[in-house]
Amino acid sequence: MVVLGALLFGAVAFALWPNGSSESIDEHTNRLAAQFRCVDCEGLSVAESSTASARAQRRDIETRIRDGQSDATIRRVFADRFGDSILLEPPAEGVGLLLWTLPVTVIIVGAGCLIFAVRRWRRADGVNDDVVDALDGFARDESANPSPARRIGVAVALVGFAIATGIALAIGTGVRAPGSNPTGRSAESAQVSDESRALMLEAAVDRAPGDALAHLALARFRLGRQDRAGALEAYRQAATLDPTDPEPFAYSGWVIRLGGFPDEGLELIDKAIAIDPLYPDARFFRGTILLRDRGDPASAIPEFQRYLVGDPGGPMANAVRGLLAEAVKASPTTLPKQASR
């Protein structure tokens, strides 16, 4: 029994142990991003989501990896910022440690119980040769054979052990069950209500009021839920905390434009472009205002082109292509003049 338990433990440990092969920065980033929950979508990891928050979290992870931070350190940073609920896998401590060891424990205990039952069966049957002989009840005297109830019990134990082993290994290795989402969890268990996500993000801001990224995550969530006033406030806080980040300026300007003030919004968007001329979202916002609000398609064309150069596969790329075609069609000249910025 001890040998079998050791073999089972070794097999599971080997399956779960990370391989020693080298990986690129992108591979490392994606592997680690798959361990974090997307804060503004349901049932997806940061690696799988295309939301603004997920993209920002991936950039943060990549930056920390390039800075030499360990996986454990990065997980701790995210857990400290958003709480342990941001982790798709439980931490290897406290209750989380119990969850990590549960699969191996189930396998070892199940194997032990099964061996104990079979040994009792063999002793009751008087057989010392093989478990197969113990199962051959038709070749022995009825009085010497184990009772039908005992045979049924062992059969149930076998089935139960097989099921428990499969479930334990699936939990340990992250195998996706039929009908589950890409994180390996069922859609029902993976879904987190808007209220829960809002509470998590607000708690993150309360824990670290000086963390610009926490304010940005809250702002993105609020904007996605059409809470423009709340989003604008969170973006303004982030801009105050980190004036070198173009995102809060660009999105504050966009929210103001959505509120009916395109000129005021364009001022903040231009500030974002001054911080980072390559920031694609600001180019999209600027081009849209020039095309739709100012009626200047010729100036909008290079803005859309710059977006497509900077982020050709981005979440707004298809919309930008449509707007670019609209601007080209509406432009009075086939040679678009360059934008002033």
Q: Given a cut of 70, is residue 81 above it in pLDDT? A: yes
3-state SS, 15-67, equals HHCCCCCCCCHHHHHHHHHCCEECCCCCCCECCCCCCHHHHHHHHHHHHHHHC
* Burial degree of 6 (CB within 10 A; 0-12, 13-18, 19+): exposed
Q: What pLDDT does residue 96 have?
A: 45
Res. 144 pLDDT band, cuts 50 70 90: very low
Phi, psi angle pair for 185, to nearest 5°? -110, 155
How much is the pLDDT for 135?
Answer: 44
Check if the beta carbon of residue 272 is closer than 8 Å to that of residue 247.
yes
The pLDDT value recorded for residue 13 is: 54
In angstroms, the CA 61 to CA 329 distance is 41
Q: Is the pLDDT of residue 154 over 80?
A: no
CA pair distance 130, 155, nearest whole angstrom: 17
SS3 assignment, position 54: helix
Is a pLDDT exceeding 60 seen at residue 55?
yes
Give tens-digit pLDDT for 242-251: 999 999 999 9
The Cα–Cα gap between 267 and 216 comes to 20
* Per-residue model confidence as pLDDT tens digits over 295-337: 999 999 999 999 999 999 988 999 999 999 999 999 876 544 4
State pTM to two decimals. Answer: 0.63
CA angle in degrees (0–180, nearest 5) for 259-262-264: 95
Provide the mean pLDDT of the chain.
78
Residue 201 has pLDDT above 80, yes or no: yes
According to the model, what pLDDT value does residue 175 have? Answer: 44
pLDDT > 90 fraction of the chain, expressed in percent and rounded:
48
| Beta carbons of 164 and 112 less than 8 angstroms apart | no
